[in-house]
Amino acid sequence: MIEDGKDLGFTATIPQNRYEQLLDLETRVDVAVERMTNDEYCNLEDVLRILGTELVINRADKIREEERKWKQEYFRSLKAEETKNEEP
């Protein structure tokens, strides 16, 4: 354990598969942080998918569906406006 830059000499034992899960999560968080800081645009769905747990993937799917519905409604309203403007 490291506290204020000093190694206190404590150790913890965890199963190998848990260690691998933690390394995977750490890598995913690093990628998400780098993407958010270096890209001009990074949307929430992308970050959630990078993190990759089932809960966040479900949330990302909901966001995608909400965006799809919003775009569909937006284009429908544009078409209705065009039709209205074409009438004499």
Specify the pLDDT at position 88.
61
Specify the pLDDT at position 23.
92
Average pLDDT, the chain: 82
Q: How confident is the model at residue 27 (pLDDT cuts 50, 70, 90)?
A: very high
Calculate mean pLDDT across residues 46-67.
Answer: 80
35-57 b/e with 16+ CB inside 10 Å = b?
Answer: eeeeeeeeeebbbbbbbeeeebe
Identify the domain containing residue 19 by its residue range: 2-86
- For the chain, how many structural domains are there in total? 1
Q: How confident is the model at residue 87 (pLDDT cuts 50, 70, 90)?
A: low
Proportion of the chain above pLDDT 70, given as a percent: 89
